Amino acid sequence: MKYKEIPPQENLTKWMEFVLLDFADVPHLQWFLFGLFLIIYVCILLGNGTIFLITKVDPALQTPMYFFLGNFSFLEICYVSITLPRMLTNLWTQKRTISLVACAAQMCCVLMLGATECFLLAVMSYDRYVAICNPLHYPLVMNHKVCVQLVTGSWVGGIPVQIGQTFQIFSMSFCASNIINHFFCDIPPILKLACGDTFIHEMMVYVVAVLFVTIPFLLILASYGKIISMVLKLPSATGRAKAFSTCSSHLTVVVLFFGSAIITYLRPKTQNSEGTDKVLSLFYTIVTPLFNPLIYSLRNKDVIMALKKLFCK
């Protein structure tokens, strides 16, 4: 299906809609992609929903680490539900239009939940740092009140800034085209449709990305730097292996999420980067939520035991 672009001299804000191109460039794969992404979405809901459930009902998992993991799994369900249902609808109906308001709402939700994920991953790394480097003070430092405060701060910390950034981007005029070469309303493809000079807007995106992506990532690196330094001093090889195993799952998720997010938002943009941005976005919006339950369960004996008890019941 070909979509008619709005002539450059007309202002897109009068039409109040965009076209999400997603994977329209491969028309022969539309039904295959619909089936694939539907299976992925169901797996994400079941996997993360199960992790969230066992962290709430299993007495053995009532610790700060699993409290954060439960919140992280719930976040992944919310995060993927912002983008995948819309993409599945587009693949099913082949009607890819999205209103300006819906596009802005989708972008705002993605940005807010993305900021929450960055903060929550940083909080989880701090939890592992305290558990390994200060085990005697761990129950005191990471008490329930502190855990609730850290999670609440992670969920609400980015809301004002991301609402402001979304408002700033959608206050621009769009005249070049109404076709977004992406599967959701993301910042880079939206900025390419704007009229006039977008330098200030792009600089604001970089500033926000540094605040909400780079700073949490550096805090995670600092935490793991301390953890590795402490673990290497342990006299027992078994103790070192056990300490590293408690961090390996979290570290894998950090690499998947932050690696793709940093490359997407902080790398220099080129004229033909839409395809690369689309592929990279799949990693932090779909691949990470899909593999999160597997990463946290396959090498975690407590989670495996909780799953066995749940399924036995």
- CA–CA separation, 247 vs 210, rounded Å? 25
Q: Going by DSSP bridges, is the β-strand pair 179-180/17-20 parallel, antiparallel, or unpaired?
A: parallel
Model pLDDT, residue 12? 41
> What are 45-88's pLDDT values in tens digits?
999 999 999 999 888 889 999 999 999 999 999 999 999 999 99
Residue 167 has pLDDT above 50, yes or no: yes
Model pLDDT, residue 132? 87
Q: For the chain, which residues make up each domain, given as ranges?
A: 12-312
Name residue 180's beta-bridge partners.
20
pTM tops 0.85, yes or no: yes
- The residue with tokens 């009607």 is 95
What is the pLDDT confidence band of residue 8, given thresholds at 50, 70 and 90?
very low
What is the pLDDT confidence band of residue 197, given thresholds at 50, 70 and 90?
confident
What is the pLDDT confidence band of residue 272, given thresholds at 50, 70 and 90?
low
Q: Is 183 helix (H, G, I), strand (E, B) or coil?
A: coil
What is the pLDDT confidence band of residue 130, given thresholds at 50, 70 and 90?
very high
In contact, 297 and 249? CB cutoff 8 Å:
no
Instruction: Please give the mean pLDDT across all residues of the chain.
Output: 85
- CA–CA separation, 116 vs 154, rounded Å? 5
CATH number listed for the domain at residues 12-312: 1.20.1070.10
- CA–CA separation, 19 vs 90, rounded Å? 10
Taking each helix axis as running N to C, give the angle between helix 237-266 and helix 199-209, from 0 to 180 degrees, rounded to the nearest 10: 170
